Amino acid sequence: MSITDLERQAQQAENAPVHAIEGRSQWSLTRQRLRRDKVAMASLAVIVIMVLLAIFAPAFAVLVHHPANAAYPITGENSAGQPVGPGTNGFWLGTDDTGRDLMVRVFYGARISLFVGIVTTAIATVAGVTIGMIAGYFGGIIDTILARVTDAVLAFPYVVLALALAVVFGPSLTIVIAVISFFSWAGIARIVRGQTLSLKEKEYIEAARSIGAGPLRIMFIDILPNLLAPVLVLATLYIPSAVVFESTLSFLGLGIQPPTASWGSMLSAAQPFYQTAWWFVVFPALALLITTLAFNLLGDGIRDAMDPTTERLVAARRRKGPRGSPSRSRNDDLDLIIAGDAK
């Protein structure tokens, strides 16, 4: 290759159209780290499966020819009128107290639980972020009022209020969503307020004001993107508590009303049968446990993935290897020394 060739190449490179180079965003780094987190990925898979089961619950009902609310006194109950166990008469997970298919009802329960969990978290997040951001950004008397209201909501004995509301308005899905949303926004608002308080002191907020940006523009364009990371983690962790809250209300008879399937009301109905029909208790409880655990672990995973310092911690842990392994690294020796000193 001659020098003129090189020159021609350089010329071509210079004449190439100017196109913007895409930067790697915080989000793409977070996604990358999250993908390496096995626990978080497993949790995500569990959540996806649970969502699919909820969506296709009617299809399962068709598949096993057992509609969710249909009782089968002949095939679904034994001669003593008790529920039949898993695998009996085509009931894969057994039946409940009135001879309905437990598997179909657990899947239908997932619809209610996930719907309530996601809808209430969405409402609570929007309300909490709006209120927290307004309180934190404007400060002064607005902040004082909003922060006190937030504290008041957090201090409320929510089960008592839920009981009262259910008695007054009659139990329904709407009331359940309203009550859970009402008690969830405050926690988010408080954290968002704190974050906003620290963000608004940043110099780039002052730069935005010096350009002439108004409060709305500053809140939505400059502050909100910086809040998304903590809010996303919070929201992921609020979904399972909303699911549990819904189950609690339904368990107490204040939430979803029979015959609509809900994990909470199923557990409530299963109480007298825990000695005779274990499946009636175990499967709804297991569904609840797996769902809440998956959301919590995913939330933890997202939090770790967003914090750039955790990567090093994970790597350090991996280097050290499992505890008590014969191949001992220098780190382990250090740990032993520290442990020895502590004794």
Partner 1 sequence: MTGQAPAASGDVLIRVDNLVKHFPVRTAGFINRTVGQVQAVDGVSLAIPRGTTLGLVGETGSGKSTLARCIAGLIPATSGTVHFEGRDITNLPRQRMAPFRRNIQMIFQDPYGSLNPRRRVGAIIGDPFAVHKTVPADERKRKVQDLMERVGLNPEHYNRFPAEFSGGQRQRIGVARALALRPKLIICDEPVSALDVSIQAQVLNLLADLQREYGLTYLFIAHDLEVVRHVSTSVTVMYLGKIAEAGPKNPVYDTPRHPYTAALLSAALAADPEAAAARQRIILTGDIPSPIDPPSGCRFHPRCPKAQELCGRQEPPLEVKAGDAATHLAACHFPVTAGEKLATASRRARP
Of 3-11, 12-20, 269-277, 320-328, the window that binds partner 1 (rule: CB under 8 A) is 12-20
Sole binder of partner 1 in the list 178, 213, 269, 281 (CB under 8 A): 213
CB of 308 to partner 1, least distance (A): 11
Of 24-32, 50-58, 149-157, 234-242, the window that binds partner 1 (rule: CB under 8 A) is 24-32
Interface with partner 1 in residues 219-278 (CB under 8 A)? 221-222, 225-226
309 binds partner 1 (CB under 8 A): no
CB of 85 to partner 1, least distance (A): 55
Nearer to partner 1, 73 or 214 (CB): 214
Angle between helices 224-251 and 278-306 (to 10 degrees): 170
CB of 33 to partner 1, least distance (A): 16
31 binds partner 1 (CB under 8 A): no
208 binds partner 1 (CB under 8 A): yes
Sole binder of partner 1 in the list 5, 12, 13, 23 (CB under 8 A): 23
Sole binder of partner 1 in the list 73, 212, 324, 340 (CB under 8 A): 212
209 binds partner 1 (CB under 8 A): yes
Task: Report yes or no: 296 and 240 within 8 Å, Cβ to Cβ.
Answer: yes
- Assign 3-class secondary structure to the chain: CCHHHHHHHHHHHHHCCCCCCCCCCHHHHHHHHHHHCHHHHHHHHHHHHHHHHHHCHHHHHHHCCCCCCCCCCCCCECCCCCECCCCECCECCCECCCCCEHHHHHHHHHHHHHHHHHHHHHHHHHHHHHHHHHHHHHCHHHHHHHHHHHHHHHHCCHHHHHHHHHHHHCCCHHHHHHHHHHHHHHHHHHHHHHHHHHHCCCHHHHHHHHHCCCHHHHHHHHHHHHHHHHHHHHHHHHHHHHHHHHHHHHHCCCCCCCCCCCHHHHHHHHHHHCCCCHHHHHHHHHHHHHHHHHHHHHHHHHHHHHCCCHHHHHHHHHHHCCCCCCCCCHHHHHHHHHHHHHC
Phi/psi at 83 (nearest 5 deg)? -60, 150
206 binds partner 1 (CB under 8 A): yes
140 binds partner 1 (CB under 8 A): no
Sole binder of partner 1 in the list 73, 157, 214, 324 (CB under 8 A): 214
13 binds partner 1 (CB under 8 A): no
Sole binder of partner 1 in the list 217, 317, 319, 328 (CB under 8 A): 217
d(CA 158, CA 162): 6
334 binds partner 1 (CB under 8 A): no
Query: Residues touching partner 1: how many (CB under 8 A)?
Result: 26
CB of 222 to partner 1, least distance (A): 5
Nearer to partner 1, 79 or 309 (CB): 309
Closest CA to 153 of 117, 122, 188, 193: 188
Nearer to partner 1, 213 or 282 (CB): 213
210 binds partner 1 (CB under 8 A): yes
Nearer to partner 1, 206 or 333 (CB): 206
Chain contacts with partner 1 (rule: CB under 8 A): 18-26, 202-204, 206-214, 217, 221-222, 225-226
